[in-house]
Amino acid sequence: DSGVTQTPKHLITATGQRVTLRCSPRSGDLSVYWYQQSLDQGLQFLIQYYNGEERAKGNILERFSAQQFPDLHSELNLSSLELGDSALYFCASSAQGGGETQYFGPGTRLLVL
Amino acid sequence: EDQVTQSPEALRLQEGESSSLNCSYTVSGLRGLFWYRQDPGKGPEFLFTLYSAGEEKEKERLKATLTKKESFLHITAPKPEDSATYLCAVPYSGYALNFGKGTSLLVTP
Please enumerate in sequence order all residues whose Cβ is within 8 A of that of B64, keeping only pairs 6 or more positions apart, or say none.
Answer: B35, B47, B48, B50, B56, B57, B58, B71, B72, B73, B74
Q: Which of A45, A89, A109 best tests the B interface by mutation, with the highest count of B CBs <10 A? A: A45
Confidence of residue B92 (pLDDT cuts 50, 70, 90): confident
Position B6, amino acid = Q
Confidence of residue B2 (pLDDT cuts 50, 70, 90): low
Contact between B62 and B45 under an 8 Å Cβ cutoff? The reply is no
E strand or H helix at B1, and its extent? none
Q: Do B99 and A99 touch (CB under 8 A)?
A: no
Position B29 pLDDT exceeds 90: no
- The answer to whether the Cα torsion of A112, B4, B7, B12 is positive or negative is negative
Q: What is the pLDDT of residue B93?
A: 66
> What average pLDDT does chain B have?
93
Please enumerate in sequence order all residues whose Cβ is within 8 A of that of A71, keeping only pairs 6 or more positions apart, or say none.
Answer: none
User: Looking at per-residue confidence, does A89 or B91 come out higher?
Assistant: A89
Alpha carbon distances (Å) from A100 to A22, A85, B50: 23, 29, 11
Q: Which of A102, A108, A110, A111 best tests the B interface by mutation, with the highest count of B CBs <10 A? A: A102
Q: What is the pLDDT of residue A17?
A: 98
Q: How confident is the model over A70-82, as a mean pLDDT?
A: 97
Provide, rounded to the nearest whole percent, the portion of chain B with pLDDT above 70: 96
Q: How confident is the model over B82-100, as a mean pLDDT?
A: 89
